[in-house]
Amino acid sequence: MNCFNPMIRKLFFFLVLSCCHTVLPAQDLGNLKKQKPFTVSGSVGASYNFYNSNEPVATRPASSWNIYGNVTPVIYGVSLPFSFVINQYSSSYTQPFAQFGLSPTYKWVKLHLGYRNIQFSPLTFDGQSFRGAGIELTPNHFRFAAFYGKLNRKINEDTTSGRFAAPQFSRTGYGIKIGIGNLSNYFDLIYFHAKDDSSSATVINKSNYRPQENTVLGSSFKISLIKKIIFNTDIAISGLTEDISLTQNRPDSTNTSLQKLMKGFLKSNISTSANWAGQSSLQFILKGYTTTLGYRRVQPGFKSLGTPYMLNDIELLNWMNNLSLANGRLSITAVLSNQHNNLDKKLTSELHTLASNLNINALLGKTFNLNFNYNGYSLKQKDGTLQLGDSVRLNQQIHQFSFTPAFTLMNEIQSNTISGNISYMLLDDKNPATTKTGSSNNLSASLNYTLGLIKQATNFTVSGLFSQYKQDTNYYKTYGASLSSSAQLLRNKPLSVQGTAGYLINRSSYGNAQNNLTFSANINYHIKHHSVTAFANYIYTPYNPINNIINNKVAQAVASKNLAGGISYNYSF
């Protein structure tokens, strides 16, 4: 049964070559005479950024550069999009970091060459680029996609240069998606496989970094009824071998039905496991109202090497609603979701999270706009394999309120806008042992006035703000103001300039904190196909030590100076 992978590879290459063989005869050569022989469009650019600070530990590189481009040649109606990115972030290796790729398209045929992305499904292969070749075909109601290439390049473990980099094995992957339908109604079957080359990278601590192999079988389908009811489902089964260097096999008595199923698609050993994941949503679309009910379950241990950022051990139920009234002048959005982990009941505790959101936006006439937003979170820890006491159990509620009004008067000469924001956050810790130190609240408010001179293309804004954070008997307050201006200058307004200056006064229950002085400036010059942008910002915090710090709750402040800036150039054609 373990010989199934070579069969899959042969079938994969046969399908790709067969599809490529049928692409050229499918072109309507008679229409090529009506197309322009050659056109090209796109943009290329470069940027350089710098950062200087007296902070003891650098949080950003002192300088960075970036060269990029997006170019789309079109030859007799066949588009050949090409993109590249080059920067210095791989300077510790043999060459700069570079990504090149193009996706030539003709009617329902799209080829992918170089660094590209193809979306299979959220549970099998999504959010992962490959360096290789791929193809997508969508003739009539047939759906086909396939790719083969490198998913990761090797990174040797280096403990001598002073810049630690986690090692990484070279990883090769391939996948096939076959289905029927269109964007509104479809059914797809998906196969994905990835394997690390255990000899590709130098790894010192082999217990933490192990070569893996993964096979995922998946299916996705979507059903749309009268464009008002939409049902969407994704499901996947993943077989993962966490260490392909092991030779000991798992006893058959411990194999689950999923492991037995995946044994035919994946060479297994004692580190091999199989798990499943699924998600589904049901959406109703009515006039002025849309509601969506969603469900997601990802088993503990589920992992696809084609979806690198997906969380497992989670069950989620959510409900989203959007109501639009008065021709869109009143919009109400409400979201409610509930999730928990410990699906296999093997963890010492289980975390339940309830999240809610309510957003109301009202446009009152042509001059007044109101927005209200609420976010609520409830975090509760329940017993798992251990019985938790109330003094160690996590039990918190978080409430966030925001109210934002805006008033605008405008005529042919100028515009006047007054806007404000009031935000309040409350963290209510219901654990009796930590409620004093864990509970906190934060209040912030701002008031802004903007004068716009329409004919001069110039704006002036003055802002004031207040913020207060409280925890038990401790507090931290900030008062401040800022002045900013922006303008478009010269004939036809090719030059744009913007500047901001602000000053913040900080107070703390531990003693006077430091004040902050900030400056920022931006300049952009655009003429025809060329654009040049330069920016700089500076933050200065003078030295003002805080006295009588108890238990090091607040670190002693030091004077800080942070200067950042950069310049970029872009050419569009």
- Which residue is listed with tokens 């049928």? 22
What is the pLDDT, as a whole number, of residue 59? 73
Question: And the tokens for 48?
Answer: 């350089």
- The gap from C-alpha 476 to its chain's centroid, in whole angstroms, comes to 32
What is the pLDDT, as a whole number, of residue 99? 67
Higher pLDDT, 456 or 12: 456
Q: Over pLDDT 70: what percentage of the chain? A: 85
The lowest-confidence range among 256-265, 337-346, 389-398 is: 256-265
What is the pLDDT, as a whole number, of residue 385? 93
Mean pLDDT of all residues in the chain? 86
Q: Are 523 and 512 in contact (CB under 8 A)?
A: no
Average of pLDDT values for 491-510?
91
DSSP 266: S
What is the pLDDT, as a whole number, of residue 95? 42
Give the start-end residues of each E strand in 103-169.
Answer: 105-106, 109-116, 130-137, 142-152
Amino acid at 541: T
How far CA 192 is from CA of 124, 267, 302, in Å, comes to 7, 14, 14
- Going by C-alpha positions, the residue among 511, 562, 519 that lies closest to residue 541 is 562
What whole-number distance in Å separates Cα of residue 120 and Cα of residue 191?
A: 9
- Going by C-alpha positions, the residue among 169, 236, 176, 232 that lies closest to residue 202 is 169
Amino acid at 9: R
pLDDT at 25 exceeding the cut of 70? no
Question: SS in 3 state form for 294-361?
Answer: EEEEECCCCCCCCCCCCCCCEEEEEEEEEEEECCCCEEEEEEEEEEECCCCCCCCEEEEEEEEEEEEE
pLDDT at 461 exceeding the cut of 80? yes
Q: Name, in order, each residue with C-beta under 8 angstroms of 470's C-beta and a sequence gap of 6 or more.
A: 440, 441, 442
Amino acid at 152: N
Helices (H), 202-280: 257-262
What whole-number distance in Å separates Cα of residue 488 and Cα of residue 493?
A: 5
What whole-number distance in Å separates Cα of residue 428 and Cα of residue 470?
A: 12
How far CA 530 is from CA of 7, 67, 277, 570, in Å, comes to 53, 15, 49, 6
Amino acid at 293: L
- Could you read off the pLDDT of 84-102 as tens digits, one per residue? 888 876 543 334 455 678 8
3-state helix, strand, coil in the chain (%, to 5): 5, 60, 35
The pLDDT-based confidence of 24 (bands split at 50, 70, 90) is very low
What is the pLDDT, as a whole number, of residue 312? 95
Average of pLDDT values for 470-485?
93
DSSP 94: S
Q: Are 130 and 113 in contact (CB under 8 A)?
A: no
What is the pLDDT, as a whole number, of residue 103? 84
The angle formed by the CA atoms of residues 550, 555 and 558, to the nearest 5 degrees, is 130
Q: What is the CA radius of gyration of the chain?
A: 29
Burial 303-323 (b: 16+ CB within 10 A, else e): bbbbbeebebbbebebebbbe
Q: Are 177 and 189 in contact (CB under 8 A)?
A: yes
Q: What are phi and psi of 5, to 5 degrees?
A: -60, -45
DSSP 248: P
Question: And the tokens for 3?
Answer: 């010989």
DSSP string, 7-46: HHHHHHHHHHHHHHHHHGGGS-GGGGGGS-SEEEEEEEEE
What whole-number distance in Å separates Cα of residue 388 and Cα of residue 379?
A: 15
Higher pLDDT, 54 or 164: 54
Q: Are 507 and 480 in contact (CB under 8 A)?
A: no
Q: Are 359 and 320 in contact (CB under 8 A)?
A: no
DSSP 453: E
Q: Are 124 and 147 in contact (CB under 8 A)?
A: no
pLDDT at 478 exceeding the cut of 50? yes
Using left for φ > 0, alpha for ψ between -120 and 50, and beta otherwise, residue 552 falls in left
What is the pLDDT, as a whole number, of residue 552? 41
**Bridge partners of residue 566, in order along the sequence:** 49, 535
The pLDDT-based confidence of 253 (bands split at 50, 70, 90) is low
Burial 371-405 (b: 16+ CB within 10 A, else e): bebebbebbbbeebeeeeeeeebbbbbbbbbbbbb
The pLDDT-based confidence of 259 (bands split at 50, 70, 90) is confident
Question: And the tokens for 473?
Answer: 């008997």
The pLDDT-based confidence of 301 (bands split at 50, 70, 90) is very high
pLDDT at 349 exceeding the cut of 70? yes
Query: How buried is 243 (Cβ within 10 angstroms: 0-12 exposed, 13-18 middle, 19+ buried)?
Result: middle
Size of the chain, expressed as the number of residues it contains: 573
